[in-house]
Structures are given as C-alpha cells and as structure tokens.
Structure 1
Amino acid sequence: MKNITIAIDGFSSTGKSTVAKQLAKHLGYVYVDTGAMYRAVTYYAMQNGLISDLDFNKEALIYQLPNIKISFKFNKTLGFAEVYLNAVNIEKEIRTLEVSSYVSKVAAISEIRQKLVEQQQQMGQDKGVVMDGRDIGTVVFPDAELKLFMTASAETRAERRYQELIERGDDVEYKDVLDNVKERDYIDSNRKDSPLKKAEDAIEIDNSNMSLDEQFNTILQLAKMTTEDCE
C-alpha cells in the first residue's frame, strides 16, 4: 500500500494531536506535532527571560534560534513521541496555560516559522507521515494527498482544554481558558505570515458533537479511501 502525507490543520484544542497520534499509530506512520515545536521555542523564550506579559524581545529570540535544538523521541510506555529541547524532555512543561498564552505570538515571527517549516518538511520528505498544526496543508505540505481542517466552537474547545488541565492538576479557571482560546484564534487567523486558514482542497471536520471514536473512525476511512485512490 502506498504511503501518503496526511496534513491536519485547525484551531487550537480541536483534538488535532489526539487524532493524529491515533492515526499514525494505526497506519504505522510517523507523527509530527508541529504545535509542540512552536511551544518548545516559546518555552525557551520564557526560560531565558525573552517573553512576558510586559515585554517580548523578538530580536533576541531570533538571534538565539541557532541555540534551539528541538527533537522528538518515541516513548514506548506512552505510545507517542515526546518533545525534547536541547536534549531535555519538556513534554509536560510546554502544555501549560502559560505557554499557551504566548505561543501564538512566538509562532507569528517569520524567522521562527521559516526555521521550523524547513525542519518539518525534512521530517515528512519520505511520506508516511501525519502532521498537525496551523499551516501544514497550506504551507508545509501543499501537495499532501489528504488534508483535513478541524474545527469546533470556542466554548467546546475551551471546555475540553479546561478539563485536560484540571486532570493534570493545574489550577486554572474556565474563563481564562476560554479567553486564551479566543485570543489564539484571532492571532493565528490574522498573522501576516502563514495565517491559519482552510486549504481549498481540505476536508472540514466539525467535531463539536463527535466522540473520540467517531472522530477517529471518520478520519481513518478518509485516509483509507485516499490511499486507495493513490494506488
């Protein structure tokens, strides 16, 4: 069976990573969480005092890009690849609401996008890859055989994210999560470089009322049909 490239784009907290991991595992494909790459750069900026509520030293972050080494290492116990920044596992650290509050600003910087897009294209050059993010079907892999665009209401996405953070033990308020979701939607959709938008040939999936199983089975069937069409 011929391997294909599967590009999954969409708004924050639409479950892109969850279904991408499931799909990659089922198909035996490589999974790349591009959002985690931008979160890793954001975490680096936070750790080095380059971004806060009061200031964002973009020039310093761009200058230090050569010092930022991002990699993925598969964790057999968890069943997916974790994110490493300069050889340190930061999978848990980058999933906080604080990182979420800054990541869209970091991702809007053209120099950072260029660096990470090049890495992402290298990761998927042999196909057999499932990649999720904001610009996979429009910029990273415009020729991907299957493009999906995930969406759901802001309230639904905020509730999912809120429950996820609470289960992790984070002390957060639903309103703060909802505000963050709406702010990220605006920044992602209105940035000048590679704004979040649905590719013309992408299949839109509104999972507001879908269970995880329904979502997975729907997308798996699309992947199978696309693969058969490419034979």
Structure 2
Amino acid sequence: MTLTIAIDGPAAAGKGTLARRLAAAYNLAYLDSGSLYRGTALSLLRSGLEPAEPAAVAAARGLKPELLADPEIRAEATGKLASQVAAIPAVRAALLDWQRGFAQHPPEGKRGAVLDGRDIGTVVLPDAMVKLFITASDEARAMRRFKELQAKGETAIYARVLEDMRERDARDTARSTAPMRPAEDALIIDTSAFDADQVFRQAKDHIDQIIIRT
C-alpha cells in the first residue's frame, strides 16, 4: 500500500515540523514543496534578476536539486521573493510535475511520501490518501517566526514580522492559480494552543484510522 500524505497551511503553523515527524514515523520520503519555490527565488536573487514571469519560469525549469540544500534558501529575503514567485501560474505549472513525480516514485525505496506546502491536497495530490491542513492564529505564527529569527541572531521586530506574514498570507490565498485553502476532505488542525507533540499525536491518530479503514 502506498501512503501519501498531503499537508498544507500557512507559514509558521508547524506543518514542516509535523511533516518531518510523520515521514520518520511511517518511513516515508519527505518533500518541502516550498523549498522548490525558495530555490527558484534564490536562483533569481543570485542572478540579479527581477521576479518577472520569463525569468522566474526559466529559473524554475532549470532548478538544480543541490540548491534545495543551500542554507541561504531559508533566509527571510529568499522567503519573501518565493511568495511572489509562487503567485506566477507558469512557475507553479513548471514545478507541478516535479512534485507529482516525487510522490509517485519516492526516493530510496520508501513506501510513500509526505509533501507539505500550500496547494498539495487541492492541486498537486488531490487523490492523496491523507490530507491535513495545519493552521494557527496570525499572532501565534508571527511570534514563532520572531523567536526563530532571534535564535538565529537576526534582528527582528515582532510588528514587522506580523505584517510581513499577513501580506504573504494575502498573496497565497488571493492568487488566481492554486490559492491556499483546505481541501474539502482535509483534517484541519489549529496549532495555536498545542505543542509539537500534541499536534503529532492528533495527526497520527487520524492517519492510523485511515490506514485501518483502507
């Protein structure tokens, strides 16, 4: 049985942490789809190019896998540009087959895959066995990101982090192609008041029930 888990949600809701834990628990391959858009954005930044459609599409099509492991892919500037790049329909189309291929043919002989992003359950893998939508309040997510930046030694202002997060959410939910929203059959988990262990247990209980019924 191939187990495919699609996890969507906004930034700093905890979906990445959950996705990695579920991948380890069920021996699945893991793909952070956001890294593809970050990699595209980083390629543009290093080339000194604007995120106009022709340049962004070319960067997506020529994306090198090793770029996904570059530490700079997690920088704030990369993340901001990635959100703009992800709103370009042709870029999303260029990366769609990459994501589906990963899920259909998981590396290292894994029994399935966990993909997280913003349109995995609605567009990339609409037939995924399990769909989760991980969310949290704007304030909770901004505080998590604020503390994360401080831990890295980066200068951060909470109000600005909150503003940037709301702007990114607006772009992700309002874009005409693959807007961020829960799939109709997704389990929605609000992590505002939960720690990582509580979220993991809730998700795992849900997945185990689906496996039993399948």
Could you say which TM-score interval applies, normalised by the shorter chain?
over 0.9
Deviation, structure 1 residue 172: 1.8
SS of alignment partner, residue 188 of structure 2: strand
* Residue of structure 2 in register with 1:192 after alignment: 176
Contact 1:96 1:165 in 2 (8 A): no
1:61 maps onto 2:49 in alignment: no
Q: Shift in Å at residue 64 of structure 1?
A: 4.2
Which of 171, 180, 192 in structure 1 is aligned with 2:164? 180
Q: What is residue 77 of structure 1 aligned with on the other side? A: none
Q: Paired residue for 2:85, among 103, 106, 125?
A: 106
Match of 1:206 in 2: 190
Comparing both structures, which one devotes a greater share of its residues to helix? 2
Partner of 1:23: 22
**Which blocks of at least 5 consecutive residues in structure 2 are unaligned?**
106-110
Provide, for residues 66-110 of structure 1, a one-character-per-residue CA deviation record: whole Å limited to 9, x for no partner. Answer: 4322x2xxxxxxxxxxxx22xx841x2111221222221100111
* TM-score computed with the length of structure 2 as normaliser: 0.92
Equivalent residue number for residue 76 of structure 1:
none
- The equivalences for 1:1-80 within 5 A come to 2-51=1-50, 56-69=51-64, 71=65
Counterpart among 112, 116, 121 of residue 100 in structure 2: 121
| Partner AA of 1:198 in structure 2 | P
Q: How many Å apart are 1:8 and its aligned residue?
A: 0.4
Verify the 8 A CA contact 2:61 2:94 in the aligned structure 1. no
In the alignment, the residues of structure 1 paired with residue 174 and residue 187 of structure 2 have an alpha-carbon distance, to the nearest angstrom, of 21
- Which structure carries more strand by proportion? 1
The more displaced of 124-133 and 200-209 is 124-133
Call closer, same or farther: CA 1:65–1:95 in 2, change over 3 Å.
closer
Tell me which amino acid in the other structure corresponds to 1:61. Answer: A
| 1:143 aligns to 2:127 (yes or no) | yes
Among 82, 89, 93, the residue aligned to 2:72: 93
Partner letter of residue 140 of structure 2?
A: T
- Give, in whole Å, the separation in 2 of the partners of 1:123 and 1:93: 23
Give aligned-pair identity as a percent. 38
CA distance in 2, matches of 1:151, 1:160: 13
Q: What letter corresponds to residue 54 of structure 2 in structure 1? A: E
Tell me the distance in 1 between the aligned counterparts of 2:171 and 2:201.
31
Deviation at 1:190, TM superposition (A): 0.4
Q: Aligned letter for 2:184?
A: E
State how many pairs are aligned: 209
Q: Give, in angstroms, the shift of residue 60 of structure 1.
A: 2.3
Alpha-carbon separation, structure 2, partners of 1:228 and 1:64: 42
> 2:104 aligns to what SS in structure 1?
coil
